[in-house]
Amino acid sequence: MDNFVVSARKYRPATFDTVVGQAHITTTLKNAILTNHLAQAFLFCGPRGVGKTTCARILAKTINCQNLGKSEAVEPCDHCDSCVSFNQNASFNIHELDAASNNSVEDIRNLIDQVRYPPQSGQYKIYIIDEVHMLSQAAFNAFLKTLEEPPSYAIFILATTEKHKILPTILSRCQLFDFNRIQPRDIADHLASIAQKEGIQTEYEALELIAQKADGGLRDALSMFDLNVTFSEDRILRYKEVLENLHILDYDYYFRLTDLLLAGNLPQSMLLFDEILRKGFDGHQFIVGLSEHFRNLLVCKDVATIQLLQVTESIQQKYLQQAAEAPLSFLLSALSVGAQCDLNYKSAKNQRLHVEVCLMKLANLPNVLDIHAVPVLSSHSEPGETRNPEQAEKKKDSSADRDALTTSREPVALPSHTSEPTNGYHPQPNGNGTAKPLPERSPVIAGIPKPVGSKLRTTSNLVTVERPVATMADAVATALAEAPEMIKVDKPFTFEELQTVWQTYARMRDQQDGSRTEQVMLNRAFRLEGTMIHIALDNSLQANLLNDLRQDLLTYLRRELQNSQIQLTDTIALQETRKMIYTPQDKFNYLAEKNPALLELKRTLGLDVDY
Ligand SMILES: [Zn+2]
């Protein structure tokens, strides 16, 4: 039986062109080799398992290839002595140091010692230092000089997953390359090609699942792939089995649950959650997954953000379909409820109940939001407008309530929008089962109309204004202009005016049930700075009285002086309070104050106060 070699090693790319998902890096490196502009120190940053070490090795192999430049492609020939020794892992021109375990000054000194000797064969010596952020401070410092002025044959490639931990002095000496997370689709395609070479039958969905779980790391994806191949008895990767092996909650659950929640079906939602728990999934994992599902639906709402949906094509269609049925207001509220549940999950005593309460809130959202009645673009049906009669009926019901609001908005459709009256948040059953195309326009947050045109009406004067309005801000400005009595302008006032009003207030209080202390307090001197009144009080008793009175007083002053900015602040004047001399320490302090020589005595003899 042959020794099993894991796919990550067996199929480690050997040329730039076979590196998955890092075209921006390989192209740059190839151009640098081609134009002979190769830097002597590189820093490769990026998540684990995305090809940093692989690219470093390919670079080392390529620049040492004896046949380089004899063909157009900047790739190693794989036949010359150098390439062969590289392929056999026997090249003396490549040195790898794992800084995670060799992070001392000694390790770096050893490396620097090696750098002194030029390569015996080939042109370059390549030093790859992995996890370079783990180097100790002293090791970094020992390395700086060599990194700044390396011999012409030495090339340093530093690799790290945590760029922010690298000292600026190192960063400035290196050429930086940021490696991407690899797109799920690229990973799935790569796995498919490996499966083909290995003679393994696969369902593409299964590979997509692995790609999703790998979260951009190809090495992780490959080990998961190996694991699943080992599990399968007949060398066929099936979606269902991979789902179980990787212990992933099927997307399907989230889709079903969202459908139930949208329909306000709490009983079925709770049963579904129970089913998920019985399959051995954790409640927290579930709620995080559900929130992510809502997030994915949200990004589907807009053409601009749809690229943020990092799922594979087959699932994308399902997302688009459900996103069309889920109103934006529901998704936003659901995300907020989910985030709250996630946040408090750890501290909840009964975690199952905690998630169930979250489900109850979610299932109740359609009722609270009244999503089917919320106006999308228009809140009323214009008599002349043609539209779905059923929708018009619903809108009439809801619009009755909104008439009570101060302003109601009636959009006037712009010419380009006339053919389609609404922006379509109402679930529109789609006969052929395909996803509804996204609306061309960006979605509208429920309740805020699209800025088309508006008719504003204020209840106070019932003046109806009709004019095209460009933005919400304009609409507000228009509303204010049409209702001048609504506008509050702060009137300036003088100190004398304030005094008059203040005294009137004090008299008023006196006639009501004002106490003696209150009158004293109200007759304290005050001064005015802008709209801030400073009043100096004698004691905390007065301060408490003022606090009780503050709101009433401010309301009165603001109304009488017609200025809403008036504020009131008080200070208690410092008083010579006679402190009781009580403790031995107090007594000593009192005496020492009278005769400072006591302090000297205490210090000299090392005395202390007796307690
Ligand atoms: Zn070669």
Q: H/E/C letters for each residue in 468-533? A: CCCCHHHHHHHHHHHCHHHCCCCCCCCHHHHHHHHHHHHHHHHHHCCCHHHHHHHCCCEEEECCEE
Mean pLDDT of the chain: 78
Token duo for residue 196: 């083909």
Give residue 397's pLDDT: 44
Give residue 312's pLDDT: 67
Residues 179, 22: contact at Cβ < 8 Å? yes
Among 5-9, 212-216, 407-411, where is mean pLDDT lowest?
A: 407-411
Which residues, in sequence order, are CB contacts of 26 under 8 Å at separation 6+? 16, 17, 19, 55, 58
Give residue 286's pLDDT: 92
> How far, rounded to the nearest angstrom, does the alpha carbon of residue 503 sit from its chain's CA centroid?
55
Residue 449, pLDDT > 90, answer: no
CA of 33 to the centre of ligand 1 (A): 14
Which residue is associated with the tokens 């026997």?
90
Evaluate if pTM is beyond 0.75: no
CA of 87 to the centre of ligand 1 (A): 10
Give residue 436's pLDDT: 43
Give residue 376's pLDDT: 43
Which residue is associated with the tokens 């005769």?
595
Strands (DSSP E) contained in 54-183 are 94-98, 125-130, 154-160, 175-178
Which residues, in sequence order, are CB contacts of 342 under 8 Å at separation 6+? 284, 287, 288, 291
Among 24-28, 310-314, 398-402, where is mean pLDDT lowest?
A: 398-402
Residue 195, pLDDT > 50, answer: yes
CA of 218 to the centre of ligand 1 (A): 26
Among 70-84, 202-216, 408-422, where is mean pLDDT lowest?
A: 408-422
CA of 59 to the centre of ligand 1 (A): 12
Q: Measure the CA–CA gap between 210 and 212, rounded to whole angstroms.
A: 5
CA of 375 to the centre of ligand 1 (A): 68
Give residue 233's pLDDT: 84
**Pairing outcome for strands 201-202 and 567-572:** unpaired
CA of 124 to the centre of ligand 1 (A): 13
- Is residue 448 very low, low, confident or very high in pLDDT (cuts 50, 70, 90)? very low
Residue 563, pLDDT > 90, answer: no
CA of 75 to the centre of ligand 1 (A): 8
Give residue 400's pLDDT: 42
- Is residue 574 very low, low, confident or very high in pLDDT (cuts 50, 70, 90)? low
pLDDT average, residue stretch 228-239: 87
CA of 83 to the centre of ligand 1 (A): 4
CA of 347 to the centre of ligand 1 (A): 60
CA of 30 to the centre of ligand 1 (A): 15
Q: Helical H runs in 149-231?
A: 168-171, 184-198, 204-214, 218-231
Q: Measure the CA–CA gap between 480 and 165, rounded to whole angstroms.
A: 54
pLDDT average, residue stretch 6-12: 84
- Is residue 179 very low, low, confident or very high in pLDDT (cuts 50, 70, 90)? very high
Give the residue among 321, 273, 272 at the shortest CA–CA distance from 296: 321
Give residue 71's pLDDT: 64
Give residue 565's pLDDT: 83
CA of 94 to the centre of ligand 1 (A): 15
Q: Measure the CA–CA gap between 543 and 7, rounded to whole angstroms.
A: 78
Give residue 391's pLDDT: 45
CA of 64 to the centre of ligand 1 (A): 7
CA of 68 to the centre of ligand 1 (A): 7
CA of 40 to the centre of ligand 1 (A): 21
Q: How many CB atoms within 10 Å of residue 54? A: 22
Q: Estimate the crossing angle of helix 266-278 against helix 351-369, to 10 degrees.
A: 150
Residue 445, pLDDT > 90, answer: no
pLDDT average, residue stretch 240-245: 87
Give residue 315's pLDDT: 80
CA of 55 to the centre of ligand 1 (A): 16
Give the residue among 397, 401, 261, 400 at the shortest CA–CA distance from 331: 261
Q: Measure the CA–CA gap between 265 and 292, rounded to whole angstroms.
A: 21
CA atoms within 13 A on the CB side of 132: 30
Strands laid side by side in the 526-529 sheet: 526-529, 532-537, 567-572
CA of 50 to the centre of ligand 1 (A): 25
Give the residue among 151, 15, 130, 122 at the shortest CA–CA distance from 63: 122
Give residue 176's pLDDT: 93
pLDDT average, residue stretch 317-343: 92
Give residue-wise pLDDT tens across range 478-516. 444 444 444 456 788 888 888 888 888 888 888 877 678
Tally of residues, the chain:
611
Report which secondary-structure segment, H or E, holds 315.
Answer: helix 313-325
Residue 535, pLDDT > 50, answer: yes
Residue ranges near ligand 1 (ion) with Cβ within 5 Å: 65, 67, 76-77, 80, 83
CA of 129 to the centre of ligand 1 (A): 24
Give residue 488's pLDDT: 54
Token duo for residue 315: 């699932």
* DSSP symbols for 530-583: TTEEEEEESSHHHHHHHHHHHHHHHHHHHHHHT-TT-EEEEEEPP--------S
CA distances from 426 to 300, 327, 377, 400 (A): 16, 8, 11, 19
pLDDT average, residue stretch 443-448: 42
More confident residue, 386 or 301: 301
Q: What is the three-class DSSP state of 160?
A: strand
Give residue 258's pLDDT: 94
Q: How many helices (H) and strands (E) does the chain have?
A: 24, 12
- 282-296, 441-455, 536-550, 572-586, range with greatest mean pLDDT: 282-296
Token duo for residue 5: 């070699």
CA of 9 to the centre of ligand 1 (A): 21
Residues 115, 146: contact at Cβ < 8 Å? yes
CA of 77 to the centre of ligand 1 (A): 4
In one letter, which amino acid is 7?
Answer: S
CA of 409 to the centre of ligand 1 (A): 73
Q: What is the three-class DSSP state of 136?
A: coil
CA of 86 to the centre of ligand 1 (A): 9
Give residue-wise pLDDT tens across range 115-148. 988 888 878 899 999 999 998 888 988 888 888 8
Residue 549, pLDDT > 90, answer: no
CA of 48 to the centre of ligand 1 (A): 29
Residues 571, 536: contact at Cβ < 8 Å? yes
pLDDT average, residue stretch 32-38: 88
CA atoms within 13 A on the CB side of 188: 22
Give residue 370's pLDDT: 65
- Is residue 254 very low, low, confident or very high in pLDDT (cuts 50, 70, 90)? very high
Give the residue among 353, 334, 344 at the shortest CA–CA distance from 294: 334
Task: Give strand pairing partners of 466.
Answer: 455
Residue 279, pLDDT > 50, answer: yes
CA of 180 to the centre of ligand 1 (A): 28
More confident residue, 428 or 242: 242
Residue 389, pLDDT > 60, answer: no
DSSP 46: -
Give residue 577's pLDDT: 52
pLDDT average, residue stretch 582-604: 86
